Structure 1
Amino acid sequence: MTEPWSRSGLTVLRIGYRDRPGPPRVRCELSRSGRGPRWRWDFPARQIGLPVDGGRATPNFGRPRGFRPIVDWIRASRAGGDQALWLDLSEEHPLLPAIDWEYGLRRLGIPVLRLPAHTTAPAWAPRNPRVALWVTMPRAKTSFPAQDMVRTAVLAMGMPTEVHVFTDAGLVGGMRDRFGDHLTVHEPVDRPWLDWITGALGRRSADVLHLIGHGYLGPDQGAFATAESPVSNFDTASARFIWPRQLETAMTAIGAGALIGTAVRANYSVAGLRLLCHRIATIRSAATVLHRAVSPADDLLTAYQLLLGPPAPFPVRTTRLSTRVHPERFGPMLGPAGGFPWPDYESTGLVDSGAGVDDGGLAGAQRQIRELEAQLAAGPPDARAGLAIVKSRLDALLRATGGPG
């Protein structure tokens, strides 16, 4: 099991993959509170539709099947009383995270959540958060009620929120007519999507980036399907795609610490959007949620409560959500998650407190520093000392430039 979660006091199901010797198999290991006993089981990879031997996944790969024996095995090994089951998904097969484990394990009757790759403690959103909603409906994919999807998202935020909408030029007029002055619907320009979004926000940070639309599944990663550009949507043969590294760069630029992907109905690839969200939380310390629009609106409300609010109770259901968040979003952890007692630097302290850092680039840099803290926490003293120097220099730079430091 990935450290430090083995010492976290959580009930964790680690899921791995091996392709030799013999036919490819999926390996499972269940443990509680990081202590024995540990229950182990494995089964053929084909049982859940995982592509093997160089096979290519279909766009709708990831639909749950063959999960009944897995559920029965977990039930047989459970001691009872688990608040939630945490999935620790390995990268031994790139498509393991694309599978809808949450729905497949729904018969367990408890929330199923995904452990993050980083131990960086969550940074809470300010009292009046800002959300960037990105809605695109490429002509090469099935259309969907974009205005209704935006309305559902705004209602789910559940608190005063500054909402910025970025959408196709052909959808802008309808959005403005319906929402008036309640939302900021930005005027599209002839630039690449991410250049437009980061440029339109300027120096303002966004706490959450919310994608609404179709996914796409590549051989080993997922993507968000878009029109050709904010002002061009004519290609009926193929959409354009935003990949994890591109999206991560934009999230850093606007200071977004969380990502929601809403997979609309008749989606080209829910698995692709799920894998994109999962991979973002691998690249950087971000909380991510994949939300299927076929689920009740309450599920999206659950997602925003987790990402914008203080510690929240465990969700009632996760059958239509793939949620990868730090366990401390539900309150203090039961056991140590490792770490190093870093000095209280002004720059990163602002983000941790939710004190309203409004510069996107600054917020992104602060969160990156917190990620480095977690990564180097168990490292040698000279590595920690080097990071401390970098942090102190950032504070000095902020003061010199009139920033919040």
Structure 2
Amino acid sequence: MAIMIATTYGLTTLRVSVRADSGRMAAAVELVSYEHGSPEVLRTWWLSSAELDLPTRMTADWSPTSQLPPYFVYELDDRLTEVGLADGLPLWLHLFKPYGFLGSVDWEGALVGALRRPLLRLPDFLERPRENRAVLDVALVCSEPVSEPRLDPPQLLVDIAQAVLRRSRRERTTIHLFADEQYFHILKARFANEPRVAVHDPAAASAHGIQERGHVAGSELRDLQSPWLLWIRDSMQGRSLDAVHFVAHGYLADQRPALALAESPLCNVDRSDARYVGVGELAAFLTQTGAWSAIFSSPPGNYSEAGLRLLADTLAQTRPGPVLYHRLVTDGPDWQLEDLYSFLYAPNPSPVPGWRDQKWFAYCQPSIVENLAPLPLRRAAATALDANAGLFESTAVPLSAPQTRGSRRGGSRGGATSRGRPPAAVSATPSAEPDLPSWVSAAQRYVEQAAQKLQRREERDPATSAVGNEVERTLQKLQAVVASVATKARGGRGGGRP
């Protein structure tokens, strides 16, 4: 799927996979250009586990490297100069399965400053999830288990909430705060005069009990066990979310990454162990709440940086939608986080934030990046990627605003095309409309994930296309039912949100 996206948009990618080299496993790193609609491998490097500082077995205390061999960085920069990738356009990191622990390596920290351009991670899902781009409902979650290094939840949550509100470009932005009971009244008082922030009372979590100690569940988990996730889901009272933003310690056990939380929002007394939420439970939670994106902020003193990075990377390979991993600054405003919210949740395609010190990685679709448009011969494919775009948006507003393609040589950050024409006019921001029930957007997320699984199966085995056609027809019928309910719920006005 990632190759189809790269082909459609004519991207320049850094393709990374694990392969055997002289009898040993190594990372094959290839600079690949899809500028002409087909892959062209421009250069290949082999990086050993020692050069990447990868452990034989990943542990929670492993610190991901942000240093790559100087010869590799220099040669990559040289080749990109020869390719003529326009200023401001990102290089795309394509982690090609199987890639093991390579998703945890800090490629961004090692390359962005030297290459003088941002690095984005290429998703392996064709479609951009359906959403109303006039609305942003964020659940901001922070837990400070006493078994882990201390955080400062009130200050962290205040700083992040202010950053989101300052830079959100959506007509209606609402933040829902969820934190340990001891911080409820502090946060309630802090946001007493801010109608865009709702501080939720942990007392509502009493019905969900206390999570017992246990290992990190595998990716097959589909039911919610965490009192935290159950509390958040039920506190929304049937309203859906757009994004869930976690500020928490990471954890890693038996190669399984997880979030480390307190026993419950009301109980935080176990000094020997936290409680863990893995990828499978997180994916189920996001689907049930209708959320189409996830953010993981690593706090200062994070117990396991590797665990949180691997969690974000693995989740991004599990379900469609943007996923952001971000390291919080130790003090003062976090300008990177502000710019990232402005970019990822912009109503129209926008420039990628340009920072020499990139403390984040993000999976997202090229359609949200300014000056990236499908190649002329691939526009039909791009249209297919955006099928059913109007489910939760006004039919007058396209899912992706008109875009222009930047010049390959000497391109402008301001958006001029290679022929000097100004960029096409972008569509107006859609209007925020009444909320839809969360089950409607949850059904939409289910359809998106089922469609992606079907596409992957047919990609691996074309012989399954006959069965796939029948499944696809069933999904289309379900999509039509969901769209019909959404239209009735919003009073036939053609807008609304999941």
The residue type paired with residue 386 of structure 1 is V
SS in 1 for 2:24: coil
Please state how far the C-alpha of 1:252 moved relative to its aligned partner: 0.5
Deviations 1:12-46 (A, max 9, x none): 00111135652321110101224435211102112
Please state how far the C-alpha of 1:73 moved relative to its aligned partner: 2.4
Aligned position for 1:389: 474
Matches within 5 A, 1:246-325: 246-294=281-329, 297-310=334-347, 311-317=349-355, 319-325=358-364
Aligned position for 1:328: 367
The residue type paired with residue 301 of structure 2 is A
Instruction: Tell me if 1:166 matches 2:203.
Output: no
Alpha-carbon contact 1:131-1:207 (below 8 Å) kept: yes
Q: Which has the larger radius of gyration?
A: 2
Distance in structure 2 (CA, Å) of the matches to 1:397 and 1:367: 11
Alpha-carbon contact 2:123-2:365 (below 8 Å) kept: yes
Distance in structure 2 (CA, Å) of the matches to 1:386 and 1:109: 45
Aligned position for 2:270: 235
SS in 2 for 1:15: strand
Percentage of pairs with the same residue: 25
Please state how far the C-alpha of 1:134 moved relative to its aligned partner: 0.7
Provide TM-score, normalisation by structure 2: 0.74
Alpha-carbon contact 1:62-1:271 (below 8 Å) kept: yes
Distance in structure 2 (CA, Å) of the matches to 1:400 and 1:292: 40
The residue type paired with residue 152 of structure 1 is D
SS in 2 for 1:47: coil
SS in 1 for 2:58: coil
The residue type paired with residue 53 of structure 2 is G
Please state how far the C-alpha of 1:218 moved relative to its aligned partner: 3.2
Unaligned runs of 5+ in 1: none
Provide TM-score, normalisation by structure 1: 0.89
Please state how far the C-alpha of 1:124 moved relative to its aligned partner: 4.6
The residue type paired with residue 43 of structure 2 is W
SS in 1 for 2:361: strand
Distance in structure 1 (CA, Å) of the matches to 2:481 and 2:2: 36
Unaligned runs of 5+ in 2: 209-226, 400-429, 459-464, 493-498
Distance in structure 1 (CA, Å) of the matches to 2:26 and 2:387: 46
The residue type paired with residue 445 of structure 2 is R
Deviations 1:344-384 (A, max 9, x none): 48746679857755322211321332344455569536624
Which of 193, 196, 199 in structure 2 is aligned with 1:185? 199
Alpha-carbon contact 2:141-2:177 (below 8 Å) kept: yes
Matches within 5 A, 1:5-404: 5-7=5-7, 8-19=9-20, 21-33=22-34, 34-52=38-56, 55-78=57-80, 79=82, 80-82=84-86, 83-106=89-112, 107-157=114-164, 158-159=167-168, 160-182=172-194, 183-188=197-202, 189-190=205-206, 191=208, 192-294=227-329, 297-310=334-347, 311-317=349-355, 319-331=358-370, 332-335=372-375, 336=378, 338=381, 340=384, 344=388, 347=391, 358-373=436-451, 376=454, 379=458, 380=465, 383-396=468-481, 399=484, 403=489
SS in 2 for 1:40: strand
SS in 2 for 1:24: strand
Alpha-carbon contact 1:67-1:104 (below 8 Å) kept: no
Q: CA RMSD in A?
A: 2.9
Distance in structure 2 (CA, Å) of the matches to 1:345 and 1:299: 30
- Segment drifting more, 213-222 vs 388-397: 388-397
Distance in structure 2 (CA, Å) of the matches to 1:166 and 1:362: 24
Please state how far the C-alpha of 1:251 moved relative to its aligned partner: 0.5
Distance in structure 2 (CA, Å) of the matches to 1:24 and 1:74: 22
Structure 1 165/385 Cα, relative in aligned 2: closer, same or farther at 3 Å?
same
The residue type paired with residue 4 of structure 1 is M
Distance in structure 1 (CA, Å) of the matches to 2:92 and 2:324: 14
Q: How many aligned residue pairs are there?
A: 403
The residue type paired with residue 316 of structure 1 is G
The residue type paired with residue 360 of structure 1 is S
The residue type paired with residue 387 of structure 1 is E
The residue type paired with residue 390 of structure 1 is L
- Segment drifting more, 3-12 vs 333-342: 333-342
Deviations 1:300-325 (A, max 9, x none): 11221133212111211261011111
Deviations 1:186-240 (A, max 9, x none): 1112321111111111210111100012111334332111011111111122211
Alpha-carbon contact 2:447-2:478 (below 8 Å) kept: no
- Segment drifting more, 339-348 vs 322-331: 339-348
SS in 1 for 2:15: strand
Alpha-carbon contact 1:248-1:280 (below 8 Å) kept: yes
Distance in structure 2 (CA, Å) of the matches to 1:225 and 1:316: 31
SS in 1 for 2:444: helix
Distance in structure 2 (CA, Å) of the matches to 1:286 and 1:371: 10
Structure 1 77/346 Cα, relative in aligned 2: closer, same or farther at 3 Å?
closer
Distance in structure 1 (CA, Å) of the matches to 2:190 and 2:351: 34
Alpha-carbon contact 1:84-1:110 (below 8 Å) kept: yes
Alpha-carbon contact 1:346-1:395 (below 8 Å) kept: no
The residue type paired with residue 129 of structure 1 is L
Alpha-carbon contact 1:130-1:162 (below 8 Å) kept: yes
Structure 1 92/276 Cα, relative in aligned 2: closer, same or farther at 3 Å?
same
Distance in structure 2 (CA, Å) of the matches to 1:14 and 1:148: 39
